[in-house]
Amino acid sequence: MDYKNLGKTGVKVSPLCLGTMQFGWSAEEPLAHKILSAACEAGINFIDTADVYSRWVPGNPGGVAEQIIGRWMKSAGIPREKLVIATKVRGKNGRWPQR
């Protein structure tokens, strides 16, 4: 894998980023774990997520993808410093007033 510098941070990321929007609704947790493991084995260390993912699915509170990623990391023994996890900072993610 030909890792790239993430700006001037000194952090190296894979040129491919794994998107996790499907995790927890159209890709249930066992499949998500297989996808994460395959990506990691292929050298992908860059994961994209957002707590607003899957909130549009009835009964889904959002934040499910992050929980799945965390449980996978724990079960697979992946240290936090081995991954770059990107998220979004804009979007309705609760019942509180949005500004």
Query: Is 3 part of the annotated catalytic residue set?
Result: no
Q: Which of the residues 20, 36, 46, 53 is marked catalytic?
A: 53
Exposed, middle or buried: residue 97 (CB in 10 Å: 0-12, 13-18, 19+)?
exposed
Among 5, 1, 7, smallest CA distance to 40 is for 1
Catalytic residues: 53
